[in-house]
Structure 1
Amino acid sequence: MLTIKGPASRYCDGRNRRSFLKIGALSFGSGGLTLADLYRAEAANATDRKHKSVINIFLAGGPPHQDMWEIKTDAPSEIRGEFRPINTNVPGIQICEVFPKLASMMDKAAVIRSVVGCRGGHDAIQCLTGWDNGSLRSLGGRPSIGSAAAKLYGPVDPAVPPFVGLAAPTRHVPWSDAGQAGFLGSAFSPFKPDGPGMKNMTLQGITLDRLADRRALLAELDGMRRDIDIHGTMEGMDAFGQRALDVLTSSKLVDALDLSQEDPRTIEMYGDGKPYKYQYDGAPTCNEQLLIARRLVEAGVRVVSLSYGRWDSHGKNFDLVRDHGGKLDQCLSALITDLDQRGMLDDVVIAVWGEFGRTPKINPQAGRDHWTKVSCAYLAGGGLNTGQAIGATNRMGEEATERPVDMQEIVATLYHSLGIDTQTTTIADPTGRPQFLVDKDPIAELVG
């Protein structure tokens, strides 16, 4: 196993770690496969397409739909809650007062107020695949959006993984799921820069600078006993091994993960999301992950998934939304602005959503409990028809009364923004049977 020390990077837990890459057992899933294995699996599927990306932001725990994008001002006090709606820059659309920055750029986004099809599990699988965890379980399960994109397109750049999961470990493990490869196998699992492989990040005498000299790299591979071709160190390796070394000798991925290279004014625009409150067994409100996500897609990553905050508000719902919502307002508006200023917004679709909604009635702990009948979502960029509020719920926020939008329609829309036609595209499962990515079509109002 080889691990390489890189430049120091700052992560949302406040500890300084070093960016790393590993050739022996790189942190792709739990299978311990090498980069060479990954590239062999992807080689037949790589295509020369324009680089489109998805940033999938999971609001773990179930965000309260009626306290975010559709405030119920006409509902009784035990339903209505504490928030007031504010106008956006799109006439006729109002959202919660905790999102003033997002309100000022509503023309660049769409809110979906009538998400249906939530199965009720406290996990991210439907937001990552469109399916519940029982679908094709005997074959390994359904692949996530990032895994499917890696299979269909391969990497944009040999030195950059096509799928990256930034979700930091959480005590409730399903909330830190970055997306599984399902029946595609571990070769298409997300690269996790905060994964188990980061526990060992040293190699005697080797730094990223020295990796530019491939002869030095091969000479100091830990434990390797093999002859090196006297005509050139790379001639003894196959093409896939060379691609693995391309990652190790390139600074692209390491640089993308290193916020010390970012303009301090940009870092300030995103904020850090601290202090972390209401985290408990969930994810922190790590604003910096959204900035890292931008840097990753800019470097060539096709799909980035992350988990932001813990929205399971059985108690103190309104305090939690003020805290999490205000921080999300800062970093999400910064991400949209950042992408727009770089000319990337039409090529990057951002999805912000959770596994289900919250009960209309406020409980005695000033909280809202689980509610699977309706939820919400926020989409921005991706060349979509933005500046819309799609769907509506009844006066109490109990169920969708206008334009129910199935969770699979949202996933299909993300695929559409990647350039993948879900009506015609299939991937063969291990039995050789072609499987469609989802059963639903993209949201017509956004892609028509």
Structure 2
Amino acid sequence: MTRPSKRRAYCDGISRRGFLQLGGLWTTAGYLGLADLFRIEARAAQAARETDRAQSGNRPRKQGLGHKAVINVFLGGGPPHQDMFDLKPEAPAEIRGEFKPIETNVPGIWIGECFPRLAKLMDKAVIIRSIVGAVDRHESFQCFTGWTPDNLRSIGGRPSLGAVVSKLNGPVDPAVPPFVGLAPKTGHAPWGDPGGVGFLGAAYAPFRPDGPAMTNMTLNGVTLDQWNDRRGLLASFDHMRRDLDADGTLTGVDAATQKAFEVLTSSRLLDALDLSKEDPAIIQRYGDGKPYNYQYDGAPTANDHLLIARRLIEAGVRCVTLSYGRWDSHGQNFDLVRDHGSKLDQALSALIEDLDQRGLLDDVAVIAWGEFGRTPRINNQAGRDHWPPVSCAFLAGGGLRGGQVIGSTNRLGEYAKDRPVHVQEVLATLYHVLGIDTTSTTLQDPTGRPQYLVEKPPIRELI
């Protein structure tokens, strides 16, 4: 076979150089980067595709999602529990702070005044006021795994829930990754961690829209007309591969490459990330969370990420993680909560209502929480400092029993008084939503030993 010239075109009219640039799939390492991301999918059976998703609340409600999913909203920095969902109006002024409790639509349950929209949805939600087991570390690791970062570190560490569900359940759609991390890169890197793979390995890593994989999905000037015949394109790739192998440009390409091209030729993932395809009324309901105040080295209050999360779940994603705001309020605590809290109230309530109107709330669990709570006593900068002994979480959907508060803290919000709930119980509950039994399911670590996902049971009051 003669070596092709640099200007040679293949059967679809794309030059070899243009072909290599499709989706930014550069091959200097001998493998396609996007293909690496989807190697796991070669081991998963293709599930039935979902029906077209509804574009507004006025369309008929869908009869379930077809798969179970979790949206894990990480409130990086440690949100102040006593200013949000566990107010202490009878405590001294230096403890109770500036906010007043407001009634919810469930008699006897009161939450902070910054959350009037969520107050109207309390019958669909759960507040956990007695979360224990946290460590004083600014990172998302415990909220995504249930473990501390030091656990099994020598063999790669504990995998996050998203990585676990990727391995155990696989993709709903071969062209859609089961685990997506929307957390942007942050100045303090652990706040932007979408959840790691631990000892499971890179095949189960989250897809990150702001990472290399998203760059790989850009057509880089190639028109959609050139993608109409998928079979022809893949066939031309087979011919191209043989030519390139002859001059040493490309080696080691396997079936995972075809998966990468399936993603590139499928619109589902890209459509889910494209809010221009969403009903403008829905976009307005969520808001955009701007201006991004008090962000510093943390995540923005990007309300549109919660809407994208819903769209991704509808497209077939099983687990979406995101980082919302910077809640490390050592100073100006009350101004920060007014800003972040009101924006979170809008976005989180919109997400819950949106899922409910689409008939999806029973299939999707939504949780918002941080790495620890804040000190009961207000410091001399009108702030609250780190407080690992207790924190809170707001949880909705997933077929869990809503309209209740689990646990309580003492009069000053210092410690769990009734029904302490361990971080691992929360993760076990999310696994339960996904249909994974944590009492019997294990993963084999690199040493060949079986490892349980968590060591605590699901929250009994919720299931």
TM-score range, shorter chain: 0.7 to 0.9
TM-score in terms of structure 2 length: 0.85
Deviation at 1:436, TM superposition (A): 0.6
Q: Which residue of the other structure, out of 359, 369, 373, is the alignment partner of 1:343?
A: 359
| SS of residue paired to 2:417 | strand
Q: Describe the superposition over 1:107-132 as per-residue Cα deviations: whole angstroms up to 9, x where unpaired.
A: 11000000000011100000010001
Does 2:459 correspond to 1:440?
no
| Correspondence 1:118 to 2:134 | yes
Task: Please list every run of 5 or more consecutive structure 1 residues that lacks an aligned counterpart in the other structure.
Answer: 6-21, 26-31, 229-236
Residue 177 of structure 2, aligned match among 146, 161, 166: 161
The amino acid that maps onto 1:168 is: P
Q: Structure 1 counterpart of 2:157, which letter? A: G
1:219-250 superposed Cα distances (whole Å, 9 cap, x missing partner):
887x955259xxxxxxxx96544333221111
C-alpha deviation, 1:430, in angstroms: 1.0
Aligned counterpart, 1:101: 117
On the 8 A contact 2:130/2:416 being kept in 1, the answer is yes
Is contact 1:33–1:187 with CA below 8 Å preserved after alignment? no
Partner of 2:40: 41
**Secondary structure of the structure 1 residue equivalent to 2:462:** helix
1:387 Cα offset (Å): 0.5
TM-score, length basis structure 1: 0.88
Identity %: 67
Distance in 1 of aligned mates of 2:429 and 2:270: 30
Q: Aligned equivalents of 1:270 and 1:4: distance in 2?
A: 34
Report how far residue 198 of structure 1 moved.
Answer: 5.0
Partner of 1:14: none
**What is the identity, as a one-letter code, of the residue corresponding to 2:203?**
A
Q: Distance in 2 between matches of 1:200 and 1:156?
A: 21
Q: How does 1:76-95 map to 2 (within 5 A)?
A: 76-95=92-111
Choose from 436, 439, 446 the match for 1:430. Answer: 446
Gapped regions of structure 2 (runs ≥ 5):
1-18, 49-65, 245-252
Once residues 252 and 157 of structure 1 are traced to their aligned partners in structure 2, the CA distance between those partners, rounded to angstroms, is 9
Distance 1:381 1:203, change over 3 A: closer
Question: Number of aligned pairs?
Answer: 418
Residues 243 and 198 (structure 1), Cα distance of their counterparts in 2 relative to 1, 3 Å cut: closer
Is 1:189 the equivalent of 2:189? no
Matches of 2:415 and 2:393 in 1, distance apart? 15
Match of 2:248 in 1: none
**1:165-244 counterparts in 2 under 5 A?**
165-198=181-214, 205-214=221-230, 217-218=233-234, 225-226=241-242, 239-244=255-260
Deviations 1:158-198 (A, max 9, x none): 11000000001100000000010111101100000111455
Letter in 2 for 1:446: L
Q: Is the 8 A contact 2:428 2:438 kept in 1?
A: yes
Distance between the aligned counterparts of 1:54 and 1:2, measured in 2? 36
Counterparts of 1:360-439 in structure 2, within 5 Å, are 360-439=376-455
Letter of the structure 2 residue corresponding to residue 245 of structure 1: F
DSSP 3-state at the match of 2:111: strand
Answer yes or no: is the 8 Å Cα contact 2:37–2:207 preserved in 1. Answer: no
Report the secondary structure of 1:60's partner residue.
coil
Residues 377 and 160 of structure 1: is their aligned pair in 2 closer, same or farther, counting only changes over 3 Å?
same
Amino acid of the structure 2 residue aligned with 1:350: V
TM-fit CA distance, 1:24:
5.1
Q: Per the alignment, in what secondary structure is the counterpart of residue 57 of structure 1?
A: strand
SS in 2 for 1:111: strand
Match of 1:254 in 2: 270
d(CA) in 1 for partners of 2:78 and 2:118? 20
